[in-house]
Structure 1
């Protein structure tokens, strides 16, 4: 018989079921309590009059777990210092969308050698998330592959849907079943309405194809996720965090019947893809907040031990420690300065 399927499939590798991996690398009771508490706090910062600033910060992606843990230890100490005015959540990004091709993240290629050992990547991801939680840091990640959440979402406190996938029905459906607060980024073209539509869709009950914890194909039925919000990240037309952009976003949210709650990504097109400009974007946001804006509730920043980024692929032994192999980041010194500046600038709001 003429073959009509799997013509371009070279290999199919079985993975452990989500249930098997969760049993192999379980969360502890204290981790579960911490995650629930962190999700509740993040909800309050997004949707209530809690004045603390939500700061989602960390490496663009985790490619070296040792360097990632080094960063997490430093961030945890800094977080305790400023926790009265800032809630710090660490970026723990394991999946990276690519415009064409490239390294797709720790889950997809954990050995950085093109072997794509996804089973090992999922194990590394769970272990790393547990390490960060044990430091007292809430975790944040972008959900890219619709199957990945079954393996790691129970250890995530805040989630994101990226600019490339906000318009995807698959990702809107997936978001409707996720258990944590979640931000939808505006489209790469700068479209705010794309994110608004996504928030509304994710807030509704959905039924879609997925897998259950045993790994069996299933019809997934959700109740909808009421904890979704918008993330402004700029677009093809330039930045979108100015007072005029914020007011326009507030108007669009109000017209859609959604809370005026805005998180701004200081990276990507908001900093002209120049990581060193992220602190300037942050200062512009703080100026709006101290001038009386109530809708800007937080920001995202790409930060690492070392500044900038380094080319990849290249031999692992030549990689510089703590420097991103995806988007460029500000270094640790600049991170400390920026976080303390946020803390000092917000002081008048807490008197």
Structure 2
């Protein structure tokens, strides 16, 4: 076997080649522009949402604190993969070194894991707000919110620390070409020349646990929420509760659905093309959709945005 096709710790690291989205596209330049625009929209939308939450007193609540953390994760999430992909396309280079691949994989896994648990924390917050409104200020005080968010980040990093070192110590000798646009564990495992079945089983169990705990929390929270809404006498109260929960459930379905496909379905269901399409969905599209979902249907956020725009327009007129 050609030595250039052997990548191990023992013989020295070699670069991987990312065979990404653009090689599959008939119009790579147009696709590059579209992804760049989506990337800018993601950064702009999530930054505006974070600024609104921290500048408007009406949005200084636990629910919006969690939304601001979700926006922060989404900004970091898309920044881990997209800038590298776009730069490679512009520069005509599609290589990534093994250390860079490991760092990208660790950050990606950490952010994905953190978002899993954050969505569960957000569901619990809605459960307390709707089912125990009188105890809400006590149960969801600032200290508790910080504790929950810190726990989400910690559990996400555990996922990264568990999977990244093991994945990167496998010998990769089948090819240097990763049929993906970033270093994702399943795509990298396909390059290994050793038996990875045990590791894939353990990774599957780890992902089941990472998904199962948040899913149980979310399912339980929304079961109690639906029962409480059903018992409400006020039609306005029902509508407000449904609207608040609908936004969160939309994000949950989008994010968890893609994650279940990527990490829990058997390899027979996967092809490089399908994997890339699903990854585009939750790596590039979901981060740009989240601020839209949480802002367009939310009167508090749109009200804060109008207030900010009015203040800016008054300020500009004063300068003139």
| Fold equivalence (TM over 0.5) | no
Q: Which has the higher contact order (CA 8 A, sep 6+)?
A: 2
Question: What TM-score, normalized to structure 2?
Answer: 0.30
Per residue, is there more strand in 1 or in 2?
A: 1
Larger radius of gyration: 2
